[in-house]
Amino acid sequence: MNLLKIICVCGARPNFIKVAPLMYAFKKNGNFDTLVVHTGQHYDENMSKLFFDELNIPKPDVNLEVGSASHAIQTAEIMKAFEPIVLNYKPEVVLVVGDVNSTIACGLVAVKLGVRLVHVEAGLRSFDRSMPEELNRVLTDSISDLLFCTEQSGVDNLIREGIPKEKIFLVGNVMIDTLLKNKDRAEGSNILNQLNLNGNGYATLTLHRPANVDNCIVLGRILDALEVIQNDMPIIFPIHPRTRRNLVSFYLDKRLEELPNLQLIDPLGYLDFLKLMASARLVLTDSGGIQEETTILKVPCLTLRKNTERPITTEIGSNQVVGTDPDKIIRAYRQAIDNNWREPQIPPFWDGKAAKRIAVIIASENRFGG
């Protein structure tokens, strides 16, 4: 039997959360010869190794070690480094996930070399072209041969953009596959004891979007809201390196030191962070994936952005987009902790089987001329 040669691309830590169930599904399906390429777009040796170990992902077959740079330079360097891999391995399919620079860079290399492109997490739209991720999403979808969507809005967006219906599949959410597989393991995490947290009387915060952390005024306004919230309950803040650097450069780090219940900690591994989210009273974030994970965990989520590319989370009520106005953040926070929040219905196909569906479709005899 001829195996389907497929390259799976990862560029940032959230990509590994999405690729992990795909690797398992491809192996179990039995029809795939898989090569995992880590572009090194975001790379921290200790954290990446922890992710590989915790999610049982084999170490990537190739690490391009591109590193950080401007969007243009990083995208170009990824393309230059990825092209020889494709030429040497000769895959029939390249699979990309999410919306980072690695997604569009490797997608472009694939299609220019005549290799079929698969995009997992396709069709998500914030309709905000100032976000680099939005440009990556739109461009990757426009050149992909198969597009796998997490929610119905993705399907609708792609059809509206002229993508043929036969290329589009609503399969569910591979991030949720990983969460459901590891939820029981995360319960064994000791992170709450390490942080001296009891029960769920605390909030979890993540903040990394350039629109929030690269602007001194915006970041200061978010701190205005956090200052009020930390008077009610502890806020645990696993801080992104970019955010930490900017707090110092904006001289806001001294202000944080004056907030006794806002606790900054280093980034956590997957299982510890899952436990920290699951046990929280609420989560404040500007992340896309966390909006989805809190939906499954049934923890109220306040999104510190003006928009979301994951509208299903707001439609079912698990997530509220509150922007960066401190008054609006505080008002939404108080509504959430006053139990003025309805428990969400789980979106269709968020059942832990998305990766299996993807593997079956890709391996289908007629899908790639197999």
What is the C-alpha to C-alpha distance for residues 136 and 99, in angstroms, rounded to an integer?
5
Q: What is the DSSP letter of 165?
A: G
3-state SS class at 247: helix
Across the chain, the runs of DSSP E, i.e. the strands, are: 4-10, 32-38, 62-63, 93-97, 116-120, 146-149, 168-170, 203-205, 235-238, 262-265, 282-285, 301-303, 319-321
Environment class of 152 (CB within 10 Å of its CB; exposed 0-12, middle 13-18, buried 19+): middle
* Candidates 38, 42, 119, 208; catalytic one: 208
Cα-Cα-Cα-Cα dihedral of 141, 143, 146, 149, to 10°?
Answer: 0
Cα-Cα-Cα-Cα dihedral of 59, 60, 63, 68, to 10°?
Answer: -80
Residues forming beta bridges with residue 96, ordered by sequence position? 119
What is the C-alpha to C-alpha distance for residues 42 and 100, in angstroms, rounded to an integer?
10
**Residue showing tokens 């108080």:** 334
Would residue 42 show up in a list of annotated catalytic residues for this protein? no
Q: Do 118 and 94 form a contact (C-beta atoms < 8 A)?
A: yes
How many C-beta atoms lie closer than 10 Å to residue 253's C-beta? 14
Q: Which two tokens stand for residue 312?
A: 């299903």
**Residue showing tokens 């006053």:** 338
82 backbone dihedrals φ, ψ, rounded to 5°:
-80, -30
Q: Do 7 and 94 form a contact (C-beta atoms < 8 A)?
A: yes
Q: Which two tokens stand for residue 243?
A: 């955010």
Q: Do 114 and 134 form a contact (C-beta atoms < 8 A)?
A: no
What is the C-alpha to C-alpha distance for residues 234 and 231, in angstroms, rounded to an integer?
8
Active-site positions?
Answer: 208
